[in-house]
Homo-oligomer: A and B are copies of this chain.
Amino acid sequence: MFPFKNNIILDRNINRNLYLQLCDQIIGFIKSGKLPPSTKLPGSRKLAENLSIHRKTVIASYEELISQGWIETIPARGTFVSSILPIVNPLGFDRSFAEMKTKDKSGFTFSKRTHLVRKLSISNTEQTLKIDDGSPDHRLAPIDEIAKIYRNISKKMYNKDLLTYGSIYGNIELRKALMYYLNQTRGLDIKIDNILITRGSQMGIYLAGQLLLSNKNRVIVGSTNYITADNTFIESGGIIERVPVDEEGLDTKCIEKLCKSKEIKAVYVTSHHHHPTTVTLSAKRRMHLLQLAQHYNFAIVEDDYDYDFHYSNAPILPLASNDNKGNVIYIGGFTKIIAPAMRIGYLIASKDFIDEAASLRRIIDRQGDQLLEQTIAQMITSGDVQRHSNKVLKIYKTRRDLFCSLLKEKLNPYFDFRIPNGGMAVWTKLNKSYHWDDIYREAKKLHLELNPNWRRYDNNNSNHNGVRMGFAALNEDEIREVINRLEKVMNCINS
């Protein structure tokens, strides 16, 4: 007989009843082939004795196993492993059930997404300073405010409805607040039906890509362009066409030329500050782009990721503010103003498109976090979001000025850049007698981490030799230290 005594280990300290632990292990022996079909099991009294447990525990186990179909009782003969179980790949007697581990490799094939970015390098040491590609400073996030409002909302009984399945379009209070907020700050003229709440801008880009580009439709982007948007469009099955980007932004004449020769489904534009080069799309080109969209019936996917961060003049109204024919899909979010982890954004478009995007969103993750959405709604209505935005804008402007002046003062021979009018990063071109790889490597030795490789990957072989250097997430001391280390890096490379 199978040595139950040696093979069954029951632990009174874990959070599962003894009789269930016994079940689990017997099932394991059956599944692994150690107890083949029709094996006779010991009587309950005997097994209880062997394992030093109460007989009732064994009986409860056996009843459970019978009800689940693993074992069967044959009158006057005893209890047996069910005779009709097929055997799954016996592992051999020498391996115990506990040793079976989920493998690193799947037992089936699936399509690999080679176009998708894989991993971000993560450094955890204390002294490491990081230059990202333009993230906000999460240390400035109004988290106390948020958590307080969140808790107040959750305390109100009438808000309990926020906990069940809600609208796939997003929390109605947030849509209302956004309608007023966007009409006022962005010069839009939208109604609630034109708004879908998303999880940050990224979900807006994803939804737009899926709805517009499947079936190998063409989308025009700049050369170069925000890599995650490129990846998202490729993932959705689209074909990417590139047009040059100069000091006025996307070259709309090239777009016109492409429209004449191919069917274009969409143009992706970060009109306010082109990603990565930070230039603003000029007024003339804005008009031209809208005109082309109307003439060739394509969608403008306007990703206004840093509308709120413009330093030199007032923010320029988005293309969406003059979209009188329903050509613009306007995408934005609160992740940059509030915190990257608070993934609340919006997709603004004609109602027919919003309806379709909401249906698709329903099968992606059903809905957003209504409590958080209601919290943000309250912060917009009370003016908290605007006040916070004004506050951090001033801080970031100071940081930009310091970063740029030090970059110019200390590193002039090596880097070429223009002071950006807005955003959180400087587009920094490296003198072509140097290589970013060398800088990256030397910097690492000094605990300075630059954007991971993929962020400066030149996706169009335009040989731009540029990277985005984010300044917003660094405070003034950190900026000084970063420039110091960069100076040392360049001295090292030169010597």
Partner-B contacts on A (CB < 8 A)? 14-17, 19-20, 23-24, 27-28, 31-32, 63-64, 67-70, 82, 84-89, 91, 98, 100-113, 116-118, 120, 122, 135, 138-139, 141, 143-144, 146-148, 150-151, 154-155, 160-168, 184-185, 187-191, 193-194, 198-200, 202-203, 205-206, 211-212, 214-215, 228, 231-232, 235, 265-266, 282-284, 287-288, 290-291, 293-294, 297-299, 312-314, 316-317, 320-327, 339-343, 348-353, 355-356, 359-360, 362-372, 383, 386, 473
Contact = CB atoms under 8 A, between A and B. Distances in A.
A5 to B, nearest CB: 21
Given A89-B294, A108-B326, 18 more contacts: A17-B314, A20-B314, A28-B322, A86-B287, A89-B291, A89-B324, A101-B191, A102-B320, A107-B325, A110-B353, A116-B359, A122-B167, A135-B165, A138-B161, A199-B199, A203-B364, A341-B369, A365-B365
A23 B314 contact: yes
Given A27-B317, A68-B313, A135-B164, A356 B113 contact: yes
Contact of A365 (B144, B206, B293): B206
A200 B107 contact: no
B117 A362 contact: yes
Contact of A359 (B16, B113, B155, B355): B113
B109 A363 contact: no
Contacts of A313: 63-64, 67-68
B353 A369 contact: no
B314 A163 contact: no
Contacts of A364: 202-203, 206, 364-365
Nearest to A266: B108
Given A141-B163, A166-B341, A24 B187 contact: yes
A351 to B, nearest CB: 4
13 contacts: A63-B313, A85-B284, A101-B191, A103-B325, A106-B352, A120-B165, A120-B168, A139-B160, A146-B154, A150-B151, A164-B341, A235-B363, A340-B366
A242 to B, nearest CB: 19
